[in-house]
Amino acid sequence: MLQVTDIRDRKEEMIAALAKRGIDAKQVLEAILEADETRRSTQAKLDETLAQSNTFSKEIGILYKKGETQKANILKEKTSQLKEASKELSEHLNTASEELQKLLYTVPNVPNALVPSGTDENDNEETFSEGEVPELHGEALPHWELAKKYDIIDFELGVKITGAGFPVYKGKGARLQRALISYFLDKNTAAGYTEYQVPHLVNEASGFGTGQLPDKEGQMYHVTEDDLYLIPTAEVPVTNMFRGDLLTENELPITCTGYTPCFRREAGSYGAHVRGLNRLHQFDKVEIVRIEHPEKSYKALDGMVAHIQELLRELKLPYRILRLCGGDLGFTAAITYDFEVFSTAQDRWLEISSVSNFETFQANRLKLRFKDSDGKNKLVHTLNGSALALPRVLAGILENYQTPQGIKIPEVLVPYCGFDIID
């Protein structure tokens, strides 16, 4: 959520930056400033009324002690009128504050200066690529056919149990899945991230805190009776662990990692491009989250990108990095780098990680601050990234490592799997 003080100081700059998203934000930003002016003027009137009421209350006691009952009763009547006025002003203030909050919730984060303008994924910028695309044998198959051939993932069984988008991993497929989770967690903890196991359901406040609500409400599974939401990513519970905290500068940075299943309704997702593991309603992901000093968050972002590059290098998967354009940027992000693995059998790129700096956008919603060296309370910067999302990494491994004899296991995963080929 944007800060009103920033909007007031940098309105024209923000309008220009938000235009990268294809948004004309002038009207809504002006409405926010008008709503804030109403809120502030109402607050000033309320403060003045309450102060006057307190003054009269003190004077009434003095007058009664002096025996000046008539004057005291006149002030008592005025005090009653002031209390009624303060009640009305409090109601107006609550309404004005709610209206301001609603307006603020509608505005996405302001893109960083590095973010290119653009309308969709076709305008994203490739910033790096690495790895050689393997030459597959003539009978190479896409991963959903490989899963059936080697009986390692059963998509139909998942439909029987739940529905489409809920696969069942079997035998060596389940062990490979578990191996990837352990490998990613081990690499993350070795890099200094503290591992957490967190709830898989969150309350509404957590959804608002990290920006999934109200923006992505239709994409989240909602347990209506308990008013809880199944998490779309570990980012939500992990970041919300610090909601409302006032940190010391010495506590920064805070670095976290965690594995969770993730649940996304993915409403409206159809077609061949979502076949197999390409897009699921339930999938596994290992996440990294950082709470950073504002002056150090972009250096931290570079470090996160380098960390994910190391994972992909060890897996020996061909990948590229994209800097997302304004039109493809997530609602809460100031900047995002997507990692994509090349699927040789499908002849297409598959997104397997997004690394984002939210700057103060989430922190403002979370009321997550730190006390700087001057004793002032400031908002932190929050960052997160997939390290990594398993379905498309698994798809990339199955397709790129297939041979006529079977599917080889990346060397780095063999100690975790206990086998070196699926045959």
Task: Establish if 112 belongs to a structural domain.
Answer: no
Q: Looking at the domain assignment, is residue 116 inside a domain? A: no
Quick one: 64 and 128 in the same domain? no
Domain that holds residue 176: 121-422
Domain end, chosen from 105, 139, 161, is at 105
Binding positions for L-serine: 233, 264, 287, 384
Same domain for 91 and 130, yes or no, is no
Q: Is residue 110 part of a domain?
A: no
> 135-155: per-residue pLDDT in tens?
888 889 999 999 999 999 999
| Same-domain pairing of 358 and 262 | yes
Is 136 in a helix, a strand, or coil? coil
- Range among 218-222, 268-272, 396-400 rated most confident: 396-400
Query: Does residue 114 form part of some domain?
Result: no
Residues 284 and 404 in one domain: yes
Report the CATH number that the domain containing residue 160 is assigned in CATH: 3.30.930.10
- What's the pLDDT at 273? 63
pLDDT of residue 266: 76
Angle of CA points 191, 196, 197, to nearest 5°: 140
Domain boundary among 105, 130, 159: 105
The answer to whether residues 94 and 141 belong to one domain is no
> Does residue 268 share a domain with residue 408?
yes
Mean pLDDT of the chain: 94
Q: Do 244 and 383 share a structural domain?
A: yes
User: Is residue 84 a part of any domain in this protein?
Assistant: yes
The answer, yes or no, to whether residue 59 has pLDDT greater than 90, is: no
253 alpha carbon, distance to own chain's centre:
18
Asked, as a colleague might, if the bond just before 311 is cis with ω within 30 of 0, I would say no
Q: Is the pLDDT of residue 213 over 60?
A: yes
Q: Tell me if 89 is assigned to some domain.
A: yes
pLDDT given at position 369: 98
From 199, 203, 196, 206, select the one nearest 366 (Cα to Cα).
206
Number of separate domains in the chain = 2
349 touches 339 (CB < 8 A): no
Same domain, 361 and 306: yes
Rg of the chain in Å (alpha carbons): 27
- pLDDT tens, 237-294? 999 999 999 999 999 999 999 999 999 997 555 555 678 999 899 999 999 999 999 9
Specify the DSSP class assigned to residue 410: P
Q: How many helices (H) and strands (E) does the chain have?
A: 12, 19
Same-domain status, 26 and 159: no
Res 345: pLDDT: 87
Cis peptide preceding 253, ω within 30 of 0? yes
DSSP 55-107: HHHHHHHHHHHHT-HHHHHHHHHHHHHHHHHHHHHHHHHHHHHHHHHHHHHTS
As annotated, the binding site for ATP includes 264-266, 351-354
Here the CATH number for the domain that contains residue 43 is 1.10.287
Tokens of 225: 């009776």
Q: Measured between alpha carbons, how far is 55 from 39 in angstroms, rounded to an integer?
A: 24
Residue 216 falls within a domain, yes or no?
A: yes
In a domain? residue 113:
no
d(CA 301, CA 307): 10
Verify that 312 and 354 share a domain, yes or no. Answer: yes
Q: What is the pLDDT of residues 322-372, one digit of tens each?
A: 999 999 999 999 999 999 999 888 889 999 999 999 999 999 999 999 999
Instruction: Check if the beta carbon of residue 304 is closer than 8 Å to that of residue 188.
Output: no
Provide the Cα torsion 388, 391, 393, 396; round to 10°: -170
What are the distances in angstroms from CA 107 to CA 27, 86, 230?
11, 32, 24
End-to-end CA distance of the chain: 51
C-alpha closest to that of 152 among 168, 170, 125: 170
Query: Per-residue pLDDT for 45 more than 80?
Result: yes
Give the pLDDT score at 271. 55
The one-letter code for the residue type at 414 is V
Q: Is the domain of 243 the same as that of 354?
A: yes
- What backbone phi and psi angles, to 5 degrees, belong to 77? -65, -40
Give yes or no for a cis peptide into 167 (omega within 30° of 0).
no
CA–CA gap between residue 159 and residue 171 (Å, rounded): 19
CA torsion sign for 234, 235, 241, 244 is negative
If you ran DSSP here, which 8-state letter would residue 219 be given?
G
The last residue of one of the domains, among 54, 76, 105, is: 105
With beta carbons less than 8 A apart as the criterion, state whether 205 and 328 touch. no
75 and 171 fall within a common domain: no
- Residue 230 CB neighbour total at 10 angstroms: 19
